[in-house]
């Protein structure tokens, strides 16, 4: 049975029980461009108690540097690039460390600049992403040179959330997925079907990936975001104490099928906040896979401590 | 075992055996903007033998009027609007005759002008489709009024091939699919995963529909194009002799899973041409669901008759 955290005593127990606080971002810290109440204060309070805060996001449109800017914009200080684990970073690490793609092979990106920046930081050349050549025609042009002439040096296809989506980008992605007898690795940043923005659900990376997956009759060879454990392994590599004792870590998120699953698979306890996708009704109706705790909003940690 | 048609004697037998020749268009008559060899001559020859020619296409981007223009552009004369059964027309008929959607309810369209024109011809008001307001922002605008203010008069959602696809259109479509407790009828023009264009496979309607389907956790309530039999039933209603004796009809197409299946389900014999999606190797490897016949290209009917 999931415990609702709603008293100062319970918050005190949380602070005693955990040293590592892992946070999903969208739906937990902020909704799009709006920070949620008392988030900055809560993070500051945790740090003042000597806690390690780590940010784990499936949003691949931004690089870690972009995230740092976002934290500062919201007045959240003292966060370092190494505190942030995004699916774009996880994807770049996967391609480099696990796939071991040679640096002279290029990567086609269906997605945004975040993936491109993280891959470039590792020394890769990329194609696609936010290249303005892919958005210059008003109507779909079947003779576009990037569609008619595939680059033979492309050795990998990455797909993620793409807000500048168009038919040309989808079609080129499919060509690369079909080329070389369907042998190019097909890597998904994450497969969230939707994401919350301003009280609405918008189309998530997973739904966009479905299009090229269905058309090419291929499933992604790897999924780098939550709940996949490659990000968790990167985090534990950086924090040996968490590796040795995952029960000192608490994964805080707004999604059962990504955040809570990610924490649980990693051996951490989990805390669901109700500011994003899920509702209290849904949590209480779960017969299995319940989070360890749930609470109305993250900012309650600060508000309840002050009482 | 599928019979390859490659002699003038075989073509003569076809002409004796069938009165109704049903044709898929893309991949059979033309590839995009290029007519295939001897197609005009073949159609003329069939008509001169007193055969009825009928065109059955899953391409929903065009209305029947648009198709007439395309036939004329290719020098194919003597075709009437009533000879053409497109998935956009089939969708409009389905919504009107089967769903019986009242004319005062609007229809949201993820797709092109073809669907809009056919629906308007029946008296419906539509939203979406090729509305230029949906393409005017250079970047995705989460505050776009068509996303933030759904029209309460929308009573049905139609999705089909959308070459002017963007993230805004997908997101609005998802809002309508989720609204009113997911109760709005969700109609697909067709679910072809790809379509052939200039020697390449491009993203088909079915792959685009997968995006909004995955995001909204809804499957289309109806699929109007081939192989669905609603188009076949419309055709048979117009040709009672075909209704009475479907074996006098031959369905000619380039796809096993749509065209050949459509013909077979309707009780017609089938002829696969190899100018589109399928290969001879694939046909010969089929253990079941083989077409009655196959041939290299439709124009062989004309060329072989002349020998």
**Two structure tokens written together for A137:** 């025609």
CATH fold of B3-58+227-306: Rossmann fold (3.40.50)
Residues of B in contact with A174 (CB under 8 A): 194, 201-203
* Predicted pLDDT of residue B198: 77
Residue A199: the pLDDT is: 77
Residue B164 is nearest to which of A139, A210, A213, comparing CB atoms?
A139
Can you tell me the distance from the alpha carbon of A252 to that of B76, in angstroms, rounded to the nearest whole number?
A: 65
Residues A18, A270 contacting (CB under 8 angstroms): no
From chain A, pick out residues whose CB is under 8 angstroms from the CB of B32.
Answer: 142
Residue A164, classed as helix, strand or coil, is coil
Of B139, B142, B170, the CB nearest to A197: B142
Residues B131, A132, A216: CA angle, nearest 5 degrees: 75
- Residues of chain A found within 8 Å of residue B182, distances taken between Cβ atoms: none
Domain with CATH 3.40.50.1000 in chain B: 3-58+227-306, 102-223
pLDDT higher than 70, residue A151? yes
DSSP 3-state of B58 = coil
CA B106 to chain centre: 23
Least confident of A34-38, B112-116, B287-291: B287-291
B143 a catalytic residue = no
pLDDT in tens, A224-278: 999 999 889 889 988 999 999 999 999 999 999 899 999 999 999 999 999 988 9
Report the pLDDT averaged over residues A279-283.
92
Considering the domain A101-223 in this protein, what is its CATH number? 3.40.50.1000
pLDDT of residue B213 exceeding 90: yes
- Residue B186, helix vs strand vs coil: strand
As a whole number, the mean pLDDT across chain A is 94
Tell me: pLDDT of B155 over 80.
Answer: yes
Say which residue, A63 or B154, is predicted with more confidence.
B154
pLDDT digits 0-9 by tens, B82-111: 999 999 999 999 999 889 999 999 999 999
3-state secondary structure of A52: strand
- Which of the 8 DSSP states describes residue A2? P
pLDDT tens for each residue of B122-148: 999 999 999 999 998 889 999 999 999
CA separation for the pair B64, B85 (Å, rounded)? 7
Give the pLDDT mean for B24-37: 92
The pLDDT of residue A157 is: 98
Cis peptide before B227 (omega within 30 of 0): yes
Say yes or no for a CB contact (<8 Å) between A174 and B163. no
pLDDT value of position B307 = 63
Instruction: Please provide the CATH number assigned to the domain covering B102-223.
Output: 3.40.50.1000
Q: What is the mean pLDDT of residues A167-191?
A: 97
**Looking at the predicted structure, is the pLDDT value of residue B51 above 90?**
yes
What is the per-residue burial (b if ≥16 Cβ within 10 Å, else e) of A37-71?
Answer: ebbbbbbbbbeeeebbbbbbbbbbbbbbebbbebb
pLDDT at A307: 63
* Strand-pair partners of B188: B159, B223
Q: Decide if A163 and B138 are in contact by the 8 Å CB cutoff.
A: no
pLDDT at B230 over 90: no
Q: With an 8 Å Cβ cutoff, is B282 touching chain A? A: no
Nearest chain B Cα distance for residue A287, angstroms: 21
Q: Is A150 on the interface with B (CB under 8 A)?
A: no
Q: Which segment of B192-196, B206-210, B219-223 scores lowest on mean pLDDT?
A: B192-196
Q: What is the pLDDT of residue B271?
A: 98
What is the overall mean pLDDT for chain B? 94
d(CA B28, CA B283): 16
Q: Which chain B residues are within 8 Å of A205, Cβ to Cβ?
A: none
Residue A39: the pLDDT is 97
Establish if B200 touches chain A: CB-CB under 8 angstroms: yes
pLDDT at B32: 82
């Amino acid at each position: 049975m999931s415990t609702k955290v709603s008293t100062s005593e319970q918050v005190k127990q949380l602070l005693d029980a955990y040293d590592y606080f892992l946070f999903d971002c969208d739906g937990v810290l902020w909704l799009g461009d709006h920070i949620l109440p008392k988030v900055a204060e809560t993070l500051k309070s945790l740090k003042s108690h000597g806690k390690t805060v780590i940010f784990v996001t499936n949003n691949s449109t931004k690089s870690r540097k972009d995230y740092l800017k976002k934290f500062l914009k919201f007045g959240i200080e003292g966060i370092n690039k190494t505190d942030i684990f995004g699916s774009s970073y996880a994807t770049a690490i996967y391609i480099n460390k696990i796939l071991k793609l040679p640096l002279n092979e290029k990567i086609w990106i269906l997605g945004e600049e975040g993936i491109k920046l993280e891959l470039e930081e590792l020394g890769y050349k990329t194609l696609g992403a936010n290249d303005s050549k892919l958005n210059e025609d008003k109507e779909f042009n079947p003779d576009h040179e990037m569609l008619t002439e595939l680059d033979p040096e492309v050795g990998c296809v990455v797909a993620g959330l793409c807000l500048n989506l168009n038919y040309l980008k989808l079609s080129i992605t499919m060509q690369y997925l079909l080329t070389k007898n369907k042998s190019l690795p097909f890597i998904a940043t994450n497969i969230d079907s939707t994401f919350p923005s301003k009280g609405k659900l918008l189309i998530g990376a997973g739904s966009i990936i479905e299009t090229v997956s269905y058309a090419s009759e291929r499933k992604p060879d790897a999924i780098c975001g939550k709940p996949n454990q490659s990000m968790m392994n990167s985090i534990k590599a950086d924090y040996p104490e968490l590796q040795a004792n995952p029960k000192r870590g608490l994964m805080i998120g707004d999604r059962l099928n990504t955040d809570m699953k990610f924490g649980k698979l990693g051996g951490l306890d989990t805390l669901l906040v109700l500011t994003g996708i899920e509702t209290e009704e849904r949590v209480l109706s779960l017969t299995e896979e319940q989070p360890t705790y749930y609470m109305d909003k993250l900012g309650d940690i600060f508000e309840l401590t002050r009482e």
